[in-house]
Amino acid sequence: MNSWNIFGHDWAVDMLINHIAHQGLRHAYLLTGPAGVGRRALATRLAQALNCPTPVAPGVACGVCRTCKQVDAGQQADLMVIQAEAEGGILKVEQVREVQKFLSLRPYQSPFKVVIFLRFQEANASAQNALLKTLEEAPAYALLLLTADNAEQLLPTIVSRCEVMRLRPLTVAGVTEFLAAKGVPPEKAALLGHLSGGRPGYALRLSADEKALAFRADKLDDLRHLLGAKRRERFAYAEKLAKDKDAFRKMLFLWLAYWRDVMLCSSGAQAELTNSDRAEEIESLAYALGLAQARAQTRAMELALERMGKNVNLRLLAEVTLMDLPQVR
């Protein structure tokens, strides 16, 4: 653990502390990395470090005062957290206008006004464009923190106006250790470490949510079953899928990781599998399908997610995805 009490990303923490201590703070940072890697945690700690009235060292918040606790809860007077109404939703231009209104007034009680944009890749083009001016000439007391999966999803004009910090996934061992430290039993910690793909926040969420693991097991069983199923059954499943967009989306992510494992396995790569608990099943699939098919399926999952982001007809998307699955007995 580093001085900000964040697991991993020591370089980023050191760099930000340096910025604060040497008055080199930028007006905007873009924190990128896969969901659950620690972007929000880093942004929150930065807001605390700036506005904590009783820091223990330059750039290190105490973490126990009223301000720090309020920032942690996202309920501080000079902090604003902006995100799409739901994961996979759209961050709208009205929300950016709210931010502009918030920033037009000077800070209420702290030295800085901090705005945290979560999952900014969900902002539509007009919302991103609306933010450009604020990003370009933010008031001196403003700090804008954007988080996104990766910088390429945003307008280049947004990215060029921010200091980009790419947060990389941690090692599987690292996440396992992190979970163990949080009191997760070792066996479960090891599995979650693999499943999380190096994202401690995501792993922690999985460990706290019994349903999430059950959901995963269900969906992977379904996939294995559907590979051997007839068309009629697949159509019936597609109809069910199309009714719940959120579950559909989550399922696609699970399937994507699964197909990636199959692809790795069939290519003979030595990389560790994400779904390590299903290694046997994956190996047999890899043997049956071969690299080309596995790769095509991985790509198909990515495409499906992309199309979902573009708001295509869910029923159609579900049917196409399922019909394209290969037949494996």
Residues in contact with another protein by CB under 8 A are 66, 70, 74-75, 77, 80-81, 97, 100-101, 104-109, 139, 141
User: Cα(134)–Cα(115) distance, rounded to whole angstroms?
Assistant: 11
User: How far apart, in whole angstroms, are the C-alpha atoms of residue 111 and residue 115?
Assistant: 13
C-alpha dist (Å) from residue 14 to 18, 44, 46, 64, 198: 6, 15, 11, 21, 20
Spatial separation of the C-alpha atoms in residues 133 and 33, rounded to whole Å: 25
C-alpha distances out from residue 82 to 31, 62, 79, 144, 145, Å: 15, 25, 10, 11, 10
For tokens 């910690």, name the residue: 189
**Residue closer to another protein (CB basis): 100 or 124:** 100
Q: Give whichever of 94 and 187 is closer to another protein, judged by the CB atom.
A: 94
Cα-atom radius of gyration of the chain, to the nearest Å? 22
Find the shortest distance in angstroms from Cβ 108 to another protein: 5
Q: Which is nearer to another protein, 77 or 312 (CB)?
A: 77
Which one, 25 or 300, has the nearer CB to another protein? 25
Q: Counting Cβ atoms within 10 Å, is residue 96 exposed (0-12), middle (13-18) or buried (19+)?
A: buried
Cβ at position 201, least distance to another protein in Å = 22
Q: How far is the CB of 134 from another protein (least distance, A)?
A: 11
Residue (97 or 250) nearer to another protein, CB: 97
Q: Which is nearer to another protein, 129 or 153 (CB)?
A: 129
CA angle in degrees (0–180, nearest 5) for 262-264-266: 65
Q: State the nearest-atom distance from the C-beta of 147 to another protein, in Å.
A: 18
Find the shortest distance in angstroms from Cβ 70 to another protein. 8
- Minimum Å distance from CB 66 to another protein? 7
CB of residue 118 to another protein, shortest distance in Å: 13
- CB nearer to another protein: give 65 or 288: 65
Residue 241 structure tokens: 């899928």
Burial state string for 257-284 with b = 16 or more CB within 10 A and e = fewer than 16: bbbbbbbbbbeeeeeebbbebbeebbee
Structure tokens, 216: 């995963």
